[in-house]
Amino acid sequence: MKHVMATLLRLQTLEMGDDVESPAVSQSIAELRAKIPPQILGHYDRMMARGKKGIAIVRNGVCRECHVKLAIGALQVLRHGTDIQICGNCGRYLCLEEDVATAVSAPVAPAIPKPRTRKPKKAALEHAR
């Protein structure tokens, strides 16, 4: 579901831009619209027709469009990316800020974490002597 939200966010960015009239942008919009399921696109279009953004970014557990704190369950679903969430107050689709950063930035090779080493406890050292 995260890829659907990333696609929807890119669509919103293109549609709210200044160069919507250019043929290249119009073609990109058409391609993005083809990737989004019709039910989601219908809800998004209704919000945009009202002059509102169709997708809201969540920062620190708060919808950045209506400034209402979200329920913990909704945040967990967003973090896991298993389902799409709608803000209970403003009705916009919700997208985590971390997902926005990954959708906008270029793909980067994942960093390989170093294995952690632990220091032995003092009791274990004394017992070994």
Domain ranges of the chain: 2-105
Q: Three-state DSSP class for 49?
A: helix
The pLDDT assigned to 107 comes to 45
Say if CB 68 and CB 50 are below 8 A apart.
no
Report whether pLDDT(9) > 80. yes
Q: Could you tell me the fold of the domain covering 2-105?
A: Helix Hairpins (1.10.287)
The pLDDT assigned to 123 comes to 63
Strand duo 93-96 + 62-63: pairing: unpaired
Q: What is the pTM of this model?
A: 0.71
pLDDT in tens, 30-68: 999 999 999 999 999 999 999 899 999 999 999 999 999
The residue with tokens 């557990």 is 61
Contacts of 41 (CB under 8 A, 6+ apart): 33
Report whether pLDDT(78) > 60. yes
- Which strands, in side-by-side order, build the sheet including 93-96? 62-63, 55-59, 93-96
